[in-house]
Amino acid sequence: MASVETMRTPTAGDNSVQAFDVERVRADFPVLQQSVHGKPLTYLDSGASAQKPKAVLEAMDEVYRTCYANVHRGAYYFSQHLTDRYESVRTKVAGLLNAASDQEIVFTRNVTEAINLVAHSFGNSLSAGDEVIISEMEHHANIVPWQLLRDRVGINLKVVPIADDGSFRLDAYESMLGPRTRLVAITHTSNVLGTVTPMKEIIRLAHKAGALVLVDGAQAVVHSKVDVRDLDADFYAFTGHKLYGPTAIGALYAKAELLKEMPPFLGGGDMIRSVSFAETTYADPPHRFEAGTPPIVEAIGLGAAIDYVNGIGMEAISAHEAGLLAYATERLSAVEGLTIYGRAKEKAAIVSFTLDGIHPHDIGTIVDREGVAIRVGHHCAQPLMERFCVPATARASMGLYNTTDDIDVLVRALEKVKELFG
Amino acid sequence: MDDLLRDLYQEVILDHGKHPRNLRHPEGANRQARGYNPLCGDQVTIYLVEDEDGRIADVAFEGKGCAISMASASMMTEVLRGKTEAEARRLFDDFHRLCTEDGFTLDQAYAEDREALERLQVLSGVRAFPVRVKCATLAWHAMTAALDGEGQATTE
Ligand SMILES: Cc1ncc(COP(=O)(O)O)c(C=O)c1O
């Protein structure tokens, strides 16, 4: 039985930049060999969801074929075996985020569920008049759960404005922190603007004001090394499908002392110590927050994805993507009539743009005919669209398998859009 | 440039998209509804002026959206004038078929709709682009919501 752990060994951190070979990486992703409308696929939508390497597909397939069983229940071999492997992924996630202990990692379906978990299990302890601070560039996943909390307990929701170049306004943020601030929930990297927020400073200031911080790391963990202890984050959420892993698996990191005090989110099997009709006692964290049969095989797939990314090296990936971002910014800026949204100094490989007089939806349809997959629309960030007075944008988001050729194909496709619209 | 795209973005559509007709808020509008496409955030508001006989005396719209939804709204305002509610609804049925049914031809439509459908036929290119059918029908959904007195229509 091939074990996931031995499939790839990490390369040494220091020389991994030179070792990065994008053609070899591309060969690991079967979807990238596909054609669309008779054109080779140019996939520039990893920000929405990333493609999966063979290592992930094979790890999941192998479980279903050779050792599938439910976890945490059986006294028999396969159940025990798979429970061990499932739990070992918790350790890998802890490693990915540099958490102090794997007991600080709660598996969730995705970022959305992780944030909802915090909004309930922590949020319900807040009182009317307490304040939660978010920012103008949040994904709906980090807006709506707080609005629901506002409706439940009467918190005040405050929104930090962003600057015209898409950067986070620390000055405005600092002036919003106050004695009633209980939680700050901010994205680590904007899925639309690419902005990397000054999270360490955001957290330092929040802590000074006595507030906790939840970080939406959906876009951050895929582009750079994250260290929750260096950040001193209280909660950190991410989603597996953007990290080259399967859908329906994500995780919430939370400091052990916080998890210990938090009541369950969902109730059911797996999250209890004992149940009677008179009284039920709950399991310790993290299992207290994992009701029901978890996405077992998806977790194994996430473990394989983390191994895959570690095998290449996050520093190497970041360096590769920084090159792509610089190239894409330069090439796209040269397209007449094209406006880029988000020009913060600290930025991940995400470029949102519009073309004068042409709606993003039309851009999306036309470039699709050239095999180019980009996201068009409001990117689940309607307040941000309003902030920039656009109904929608087109967005190219890059991953470890993209090349400068992909950008060239996109630019040529955009020229066709302009040609068609005359 | 491929033929499907040329079909979708015909000159007439691009022209209506760039210079929509009846893009205004008419005086005396007695029915209106907002159409919203959650997928792309496009929205149009349709205004109808119905006279005492229940005929659409004027129809106009306001909104922002892609070339297809703007062109469709614009062209709709041109073909609805003078129609009764029932006629307007029936025309939408035929138009919907035009946008979705492969092999749908004008002789399958109600005889009274054929003249209007001939003009709307340039929009049938959306058939090859199923996700864009909602763009082509957004204004029409809003128009029916206005007739129903509902105020709001979404394409979901
Ligand atoms: C910044 C950000 N937050 C949250 C999410 C939600 O992720 P999921 O749908 O996996 O919960 C996304 C992805 O769409 C995102 O980009």
ipTM computed for the complex:
0.92
pLDDT at A320 over 80: yes
Domains of chain A: 16-48+313-421 (3.90.1150.10), 63-310 (3.40.640.10)
A-chain residue closest to B128, CA distance: A365
β-bridge partners, A134:
A159
Q: Which of A134, A146, A191 to mutate to test the pocket of ligand 1 (most atoms within 8 A of CB)?
A: A191
Q: Which of A244, A302, A380 to mutate to test the pocket of ligand 1 (most atoms within 8 A of CB)?
A: A380
Show the beta-strand stretches assigned E in B21-86: 31-37, 42-50, 56-64
* Rounded-to-integer distance, Cα A128 and Cα A114, Å: 23
Residue A421 and residue B14: Cβ atoms within 8 Å? yes
Inter-chain CB pairs, A–B, below 8 Å: 57
Above pLDDT 90, what percent of chain A?
A: 93
pLDDT of A154-177, one tens digit each? 999 999 999 999 999 999 999 999
Q: Does A360 touch chain B if contact means CB atoms closer than 8 Å?
A: yes
Identify which of A80, A107, A108 has the alpha carbon closest to the alpha carbon of residue A92. Answer: A107
Class of domain B3-149: alpha beta
A-chain residue closest to B14, CA distance: A421
Residue A359 and residue B4: Cβ atoms within 8 Å? no
What is the atom index within ligand 1 of the atom nearest the CA of A241? Answer: 10
* Rounded-to-integer distance, Cα B3 and Cα B11, Å: 13
Determine how β-strand A350-355 pairs with β-strand A393-397.
antiparallel
pLDDT at A286 over 80: yes
pLDDT of A188-215, one tens digit each? 999 999 999 999 999 999 999 999 999 9
Question: Which burial class, exposed, middle or buried, applies to A281 when counting CB atoms under 10 A from its CB (0-12, 13-18, 19+)?
Answer: exposed
Across the range A131-148, mean pLDDT stands at 98
Q: How high is the pLDDT of residue A290?
A: 97
pLDDT at A11 over 70: no
CB proximity list for A396: less than 8 A, separation 6 or greater:
A44, A45, A328, A332, A350, A351, A353, A374, A407, A410
A352 C-beta closer than 6 A to ligand 1: no
Choose, out of A192, A354, A365, A414, the residue to mutate when testing the contact with B (most B CBs < 10 Å): A365
* Rounded-to-integer distance, Cα A52 and Cα A241, Å: 8
- Centre of ligand 1 from the C-alpha of residue A397, in Å: 14
Q: How high is the pLDDT of residue A422?
A: 83
Of B9, B132, B135, Cβ closest to residue A420:
B9
pLDDT band at A19 (very low <50, low <70, confident <90, very high): low
| Amino acid identity at B80 | L
Across the range A292-302, mean pLDDT stands at 97
Residue A389 a catalytic site member: no
Return the SS3 of A347. strand
> pLDDT truncated to tens, each residue of chain B (156 aa)?
688 999 999 999 999 999 999 999 999 999 999 999 887 778 899 999 999 999 999 999 999 899 999 999 999 999 999 999 999 999 999 999 999 999 999 999 999 999 999 999 999 999 999 999 999 999 999 999 999 998 788 776
Q: Tally the C-alpha atoms within 13 A of residue A333's C-alpha that lie toward its C-beta.
A: 9
Q: Look-up: residue for tokens 């709906």?
A: A140
Q: Render B12-36 in DSSP notation, one character per residue.
A: HHHHHHHS-TTBS--TT--EEEEEE
Task: Work out the number of other CB atoms within 10 angstroms of the CB of residue A233.
Answer: 26
Q: How high is the pLDDT of residue B156?
A: 64
* Rounded-to-integer distance, Cα A351 and Cα A236, Å: 24
pLDDT of B114-155, one tens digit each? 999 999 999 999 999 999 999 999 999 999 999 999 878 877
Residue A365 and residue B1: Cβ atoms within 8 Å? no
**What strands lie across the sheet with A181-187, from one edge to the other?**
A105-108, A250-254, A235-239, A212-216, A181-187, A131-135, A156-160
* Rounded-to-integer distance, Cα A344 and Cα A195, Å: 6
Q: Are A293 and A370 contacting, i.e. CB atoms less than 8 angstroms apart?
A: no
Residue A419 and residue B65: Cβ atoms within 8 Å? no
Choose, out of A36, A144, A359, A418, the residue to mutate when testing the contact with B (most B CBs < 10 Å): A359
* Rounded-to-integer distance, Cα A205 and Cα A195, Å: 19
Comparing B41 with A116, which gets the higher pLDDT? A116
Residue B64 and residue A391: Cβ atoms within 8 Å? yes
Mean residue pLDDT of chain A comes to 94
What token pair was written down for B1? Answer: 């440039």
- Angle in degrees, CA A140, A29, A18, rounded to 5: 95
β-bridge partners, B43:
B36, B64
Identify which of B89, B95, B96, B84 has the alpha carbon closest to the alpha carbon of residue B144. Answer: B89
pLDDT of A380-421, one tens digit each? 999 999 999 998 999 999 999 999 999 999 999 999 999 999
A321 C-beta closer than 6 A to ligand 1: no
Residues of A in contact with B65 (CB under 8 A): 359, 361, 391
Of A357, A377, A416, Cβ closest to residue B40:
A377
pLDDT band at A8 (very low <50, low <70, confident <90, very high): very low
Q: How high is the pLDDT of residue B1?
A: 64
Comparing A328 with A270, which gets the higher pLDDT? A328
* Rounded-to-integer distance, Cα A144 and Cα A154, Å: 14
Q: Are B153 and B36 contacting, i.e. CB atoms less than 8 angstroms apart?
A: yes
| Amino acid identity at A147 | Q
Q: Are A55 and A301 contacting, i.e. CB atoms less than 8 angstroms apart?
A: no
Across the range A71-79, mean pLDDT stands at 89
Q: Does A358 touch chain B if contact means CB atoms closer than 8 Å?
A: yes
- Centre of ligand 1 from the C-alpha of residue A110, in Å: 8
A-chain residue closest to B129, CA distance: A365
Q: Are A377 and A360 contacting, i.e. CB atoms less than 8 angstroms apart?
A: yes
β-bridge partners, A251:
A107, A238
Of B5, B39, B42, Cβ closest to residue A420:
B5
pLDDT at A9 over 80: no
pLDDT at A16 over 60: no
Question: Which burial class, exposed, middle or buried, applies to A274 when counting CB atoms under 10 A from its CB (0-12, 13-18, 19+)?
Answer: exposed
A216 C-beta closer than 6 A to ligand 1: yes
Helical (H) or strand (E) element with A42: strand A42-43
Catalytic residue, chosen from A59, A317, A367, A380, is: A380
- Centre of ligand 1 from the C-alpha of residue A142, in Å: 9
Residue B40 and residue A392: Cβ atoms within 8 Å? yes
